[in-house]
Amino acid sequence: MCHIAFHSFEDVNKRIGSILVGFIYWGWTPFHFALLHRLEHGFGYIVFLCTMIAFNDNSAYYIGKFLGKGGKQFSPRISPNKTWTGAVGGFVATVAIAIAFRFTVPHLSYPEVALLAVIVGLCIPVGDLIESAMKRDLKVKDSGALIPGHGGVMDRFDSWIFTAPIMHCSLLFIQKLRI
């Protein structure tokens, strides 16, 4: 804001938008891990969510790499290496691991676990695509060199950051349905 007051008002909307997006993306969304933790059974929710994300990311990568070669791309303009085969494989792995890891959230019924798995499984690749689109917009290949070969730190946490608020809202919705 100081830059605008003392230098120029050119691109003011873009600058303010970038600040707001940065605050929301790196502030508000990860804060939902703390909100999840504050819920009754919060630690189990976090373990449950992190397990689904890890299995989705890894399954999508390996299934896409070994079975998706030459297959239809998921989003060629944003992330050309992602295939529909990998996306479907990641989704199926998410649902399977959620059912297998139900012991982390035993107070949830199987239909509730399946609902959460479907919601999270659909949202994980969206978080990845949003982060990739931000990198494309900034014309950078990697968001940093801290983790070589992985697209940077943002690539490691994009799905985690994006799904935490969705998981939190979904759990609140499930709780409201029970009342």
Chain segment 7-56, per-residue pLDDT in tens: 666 777 777 777 787 777 777 888 899 999 999 999 999 999 999 999 99
pLDDT recorded at residue 114: 96
Residue 17 within a domain: no
> Are 52 and 114 spatial neighbours (Cβ–Cβ below 8 Å)?
no
Number of H helices, E strands in the chain: 7, 2
Residue 49 within a domain: yes
Of 26 and 98, which is predicted with more confidence? 98
pLDDT recorded at residue 101: 95
Q: Is residue 60 classed exposed, middle or buried when 0-12, 13-18 and 19+ CB atoms within 10 A define those classes?
A: buried
Residue 6 within a domain: no
Q: In this model, does residue 141 exceed pLDDT 90?
A: no
pLDDT tens per residue, range 75-88: 888 888 888 999 99
> Are 171 and 35 spatial neighbours (Cβ–Cβ below 8 Å)?
no
Provide the whole-model pTM. Answer: 0.81
Alpha carbon distance, N-terminus to C-terminus of the chain:
46
Give the residue numbers spanning the domain of 158: 30-178
Residue 2 within a domain: no
pLDDT recorded at residue 9: 65
Q: What is the average per-residue pLDDT within 133-145?
A: 67
